[in-house]
Amino acid sequence: MTVPVEIEYHGATLVIAINRPAQRNAVNQAVSLAIAAALDTLDADPALRVGIITGRGTSFCAGMDLRAFVEGERPEMPGRGFAGITEAPPKKPVIAAVEGFALAGGCELALACDLIVAAQDAWFGLPEVMRGLVAGSGGLIRLPRRIPPAIALEYALTGARMDATTAQGWGLVNRLTPPGQALTGALALAAQIAANAPLSVAMTKRIVHESASWDADQLWDTQRALVEPVLASRDAIEGSRAFAEKRDPVWSGT
Amino acid identity, position 100: G
Local structure of 22: helix, strand or coil: helix
Q: Which residues are catalytic?
A: 108, 128
Q: Are 170 and 126 in contact (CB under 8 A)?
A: no
Q: Are 13 and 188 in contact (CB under 8 A)?
A: no
Evaluate if residue 1 carries a pLDDT over 80. Answer: no
Whole-number Å distance between alpha carbons of 14 and 47: 10
pTM above 0.85, yes or no: yes
pLDDT number for residue 75: 84
Q: Does position 120 have pLDDT exceeding 80, yes or no?
A: yes
Q: DSSP 3-state assignment of 168?
A: helix
pLDDT digits (tens, 9 = 90+) for 179-205: 999 999 999 999 999 999 999 999 999
Domains of the chain by start residue, with CATH: 5-194 (3.90.226.10), 198-244 (1.10.12)
What stretch of H or E contains 11? none
Alpha helices in 75-148 (DSSP H): 105-112, 139-146
The CA-atom distances, in angstroms, between 72 and each of 29, 47, 85, 137 are: 11, 39, 21, 18
Q: Can you tell me the distance from the alpha carbon of 203 to that of 55, in angstroms, rounded to the nearest whole number?
A: 28
pLDDT tens string 130-189: 989 999 999 999 999 999 999 999 999 999 999 999 999 999 999 999 999 999 999 999
**Closest by alpha carbon to 204, among 142, 114, 144?**
114
